[in-house]
Chain A
Amino acid sequence: MSIQRQEIEAIREGFSKSGYICNTHIATAIFLAQKLQKPILVEGPPGVGKTELAKATAEFLSLPLIRLQCYEGLDESKALYEWKYGKQLLYTQVLKEKLGDLMEGAEGLTESLARLHDFDDTFFSEDFLEPRPLLKALWEENGSVLLIDEIDKSDDEFEAFLLELLSDYQISIPELGTIKARSAPIVFLTSNNSRELGDALKRRCIHLYIPFPESELEQKIIAARVPEIDEGLRKQLVAFVQGLRGEDLKKHPAVSETIDWARTLLLLHANELDADLVRNTLNILLKFQDDIENIDGELNALVSKARGA
């Protein structure tokens, strides 16, 4: 086993200790991101653990997780920094009163101005800066994990604005100049593909696509997340969910739904799947009434197939 593989396996095991079960492909991405110091763009259907991956990484590396949720209209004042206007105004008031004292003894306009100039920059210094997630991540002394969630929901302009941060780990604040990261953060961007991301952004990132997990992996995930559940039932329920993903549905059940369902079955003290039980709890797995109605006809077949697994 090569050294690289050992390192990657170590990441995978570290993740599984904190309850995030993944395959080598995902662990490789984390390994690369650390070594190449590049952000990871995580894509995949909703509910496969894109956000969880960032959380697990933060836990594994014991770094603080800083999260920025994107939405339409998000701008730099919410993502990067804001000036503390109230404080600035208050200080101006205070300064006004002190202005007389300050100017005492100053001869002529030039000298007064020179004295004022000494105060100029105080208003736009770090004391008056309110850091938002991105700036916070750059300011962390020992590095951090920065999660930029659902980047596809943000506007084009914001995406473009991120480019400087993603490639050089620095940002520009007009009043202060360029701020460099004290220690490069590990950046995760997640996307549900609600719109095509720009090439420039993709080029700067390691691209990781997380699909629905295969049966074996999903069983491991359930075993880690819902350890109380009986092994036989676990096999059946995973087989059933895997079967559902083969059907034509508006929205296929994701891992998070499988976990919820496993917890539900546990609560109901179920020992094995049967059609009635599934029918009654199907709304945990399927989120559209259309889907539930469509699948009803095939429910018996799916259940018996899952029981055979």
Chain B
Amino acid sequence: MTQMLGNFIRALRASDVRVSISESIDAGRTAELVGFEDREILKSALSQVLAKTDEEEFAFNSVFDRYFSFEKIRSPAANDGAPEDENQDDNASDNTSEEDDSSESDESESQGQGGPPGSGGGAGGQSEKSENASEQEAQASPDLLELLERGDTAALQQALAEAGQNARIDRIRLFTQRGMYVRRIMEDMGLEGLEMEIERATDKDEDRVVYIRGLRDGLREQVRDYVERQLDLYTANAGQQLREEVLSRVRLTNVDRRDMRLMQGLVRKMAKRLVALNSRRRKKDIRGALNFRKTIRRNIAHDGIMFDIHWKQKKIDRPKLVAICDVSGSVSSYAHFLLMFLYSLQEVLPKVRAFAFSGELGEVTDLFKTQDLETAIGETLKIYGSGSTDYGRAFEELERTVLDDIDHRTTVIILGDGRSNNADPRADILKVVHARAKRVLWLNPEPKSMWGTGDSEMKSLAAYCDSAATCTSLKDLERVVSDILRKG
């Protein structure tokens, strides 16, 4: 039972449900409490203990159905077949130290359930395997043949599940491991015996040979299906997680078009994480109305003399943000992601104003509020993306329209490569902006060594920025934005 639950929890984790150690202990107690007989109640109860958000509940339902539908087939015989495992403690610790799949050596001791001793366990132990097979030849092979001939699906399923457990199928990670697992399970079920039987019949009875071969191939088919299903169960999201991890580090210009959708999901995820971290940042004010009760309470130790004064007011600190994006060809893909990021963050940053320019500068805030992200970005690039970059003109426009709105709470983010096509970048305007704003950040997709070469004006512009940094991947972006949120 514990083993079964442990594997189930592992399958849940693979599907992005976060299950902590204490929750898996709760799950154990819950299962003990409600029993395995009543599926509906078991499902309700486990979902309440293990799934803590909508998405998790959704994932839970699908994993539960897949996982326990199989268990159901084997259940009639499972009760008397497999002895109750004695090493529950091992299994409990087993659930927790699960991250690493290569640790098979310490796992082999905790599998007292079902099959013969020493089966499974070793990944490459050839000697162990042959010994194991010969041992089974004696007992398992006639059974297997008999089962196949009888067509007893329930018993076959049970044998399959047991063999799967002996082969540690729950440790499967990569689709390339399928072949190995199929072989291992077949062997565990008594393949050797079948082969022997075929050999024995080879010269005498050709029909029987063909017949048994047919049975064997049918079984292999079934085992392969089973392994596929298990792979699906235990690695549901692993592939995606890996790709997301890679994508978040890759240079934004190098993101493939086909990865765009995944990337968007990733941006949203990051933004959500930042929102969760920062949604209630506030600081206590040091003036305002006196919090009388609290003050009295704190000062009772000082005989009522007010040393330690508390105020009622708390200030919720929410930064204002002005984002200015260069959307000309060279940097448009970065702008794409910055805009995406900022708009996913609207919950924490209610006062975002976004501007786009290449030659002409224009506000795109409303566009993003009314359109969905893709349309808005496409639209922005269409309207503003065609001209050649001219920082001077863009800053002049900025001075005319937005400067009044920039105050000591405003953070200004500028995204661009600082290449102004030899036109005057009007660094003096940036200087004014810098003086008024709380902070000016410049994100440049070019590496620092390229700044100031050719028509790059980065050297003179960077002087008026609180920080100018290279920003090439989503991780960089996340760092910058989280920095803004932290410092307010």
Contacts and interface: CB of A to CB of B under 8 A. Distances in A.
Contacts of B300: 83, 85, 88
Nearest to B293: A77
Contacts of B45: 28, 31-32
B52 A207 contact: yes
A208 B235 CA distance: 27
A208 B45 CA distance: 10
Interface stretch (B30-38, B105-113, B361-369): B30-38
A35 interface: yes
A140 B127 CA distance: 66
Given A206-B48, A209-B57, A85 B296 contact: yes
Interface stretch (A106-114, A195-203, A253-261): A195-203
A8 B33 CA distance: 12
Contacts of B44: 24-25, 28-29
Nearest to B314: A73
Contacts of A156: 280
B49 A203 contact: no
A87 to B, nearest CB: 12
Contacts of A29: 44, 48
A203 B22 contact: yes
Interface string A122-133: 000000000000
Interface string A68-112: 000001010100001101001000000000000000000000000
A173 interface: no
Interface residues of B, number: 33
Interface in A182-233: 195-196, 199, 202-209
Contacts of A206: 48-49
Contacts of B57: 209
A203 B38 CA distance: 25
Contact of B294 (A31, A38, A77): A77
Chain A CB within 10 Å, residue with most, of B30, B48, B57: B48
A289 interface: no
B54 A209 contact: yes
Number of chain A interface residues as a range: 20 to 34
Contacts of B38: 2, 4-5
A196 B279 contact: yes
Given A5-B41, A85-B296, A209-B57, A38 B26 contact: yes
Interface in A119-163: 155-156
Contact of B33 (A35, A202, A204): A35
Nearest to A36: B29
Interface in B5-31: 18, 20, 22-23, 26, 29-30
Interface string B372-401: 000000000000000000000000000000
B20 A28 contact: no
A73 to B, nearest CB: 7
A28 B293 CA distance: 43
Nearest to B279: A195
A25 B41 CA distance: 7
Contacts of A5: 38, 41
Given A4-B34, A4-B35, A36 B279 contact: no
A24 B44 CA distance: 8
Contact of A208 (B20, B48, B54, B296): B48
Interface string B277-304: 0011000000000000110110010000
A36 B41 contact: no
A33 to B, nearest CB: 9
Nearest to B275: A196
A195 B44 CA distance: 25
B40 interface: yes
A36 B294 contact: no
B59 to A, nearest CB: 14
Contacts of B35: 2, 4
B29 A28 contact: no
Q: Which of B37, B44, B293 has the most CB of A within 10 A?
A: B44
Contacts of A83: 297, 300
12 contacts: A2-B35, A2-B38, A31-B45, A32-B33, A75-B294, A77-B293, A83-B297, A85-B300, A203-B23, A204-B22, A208-B48, A209-B54
Given A28-B45, A77-B293, A209-B54, 7 more contacts: A2-B38, A4-B34, A24-B44, A75-B294, A155-B280, A195-B279, A203-B20
Closest 7 CB pairs of A and B: A28-B44, A202-B52, A25-B44, A207-B52, A206-B48, A4-B34, A196-B276
